Structure 1
Amino acid sequence: METILKEFEKLQENGQLSKCQGLVDDLLDTLMKSRTQIEQGDVNNIDAYLKLLKSKVDTYTKRAKLHQKEIHGPLSRFGKSLDKSFKTNFSSAYQAPTFLKSNEEALNKAISMHFVRNGNFEVAQVFMNESGGSYVSDTTIAQFEAMFVILHSLKNNNLGPAIAWASDNRDYLKHRGSDLEFNLHKCQFVRLLLDPENSPSVVLNYARTKFGVFSDIYLSEISRLMTSLLYRHELDLSPYANLRYSPSFEEICQSFTNEYCASIGFSSDSPLYLAVTAGSAALPILAKMGSIMKLKRAEWSSLNELPVEIELPKKFQFHPIFVCPVSKEQTTDLNPPRMLVCGHIISQESLNAISRNRSNSKFKCPYCPSECTALEAKRVYFE
Structure 2
Amino acid sequence: MEPISNGNSTATTASVTSLNTTATTTPSSKLTESLKLEHQLLRVPFEHYKKTIRANHRVVEKEVSAVISGIPDSADISRDDAIQHLNSLVSRLQGLKRKLEDGSKAERLQAQRCRARLDHLESADSENMSEWNNTRLNRILVDYMLRMSYYDTATKLAETSNIQDLVDIDIFYEAKKVIDALHNKEVAPALAWCADNKSRLKKFKSKFEFQLRLQEFIELVRSENNMQAIIYARKYLSPWAATYMKEFQKVFVTLAYTSYTGLELYKVLFEPKQWDYLMDQFKQEFCRLYGMTLEPLLNIFLQAGLSALKTPLCYEDDCTKEDPLSQESFRKLATPLPFSKQHHSKLVCYITKELMDTENPPLVLPNGYVYSTKALEEMASNNNGKITCPRTGEVYNYTEVTKAFIS
User: What is the TM-score with the length of structure 1 in the denominator?
Assistant: 0.46
TM-score, structure 2 normalization? 0.44
Which structure has more RCO (C-alpha within 8 Å, separation ≥ 6)? 2
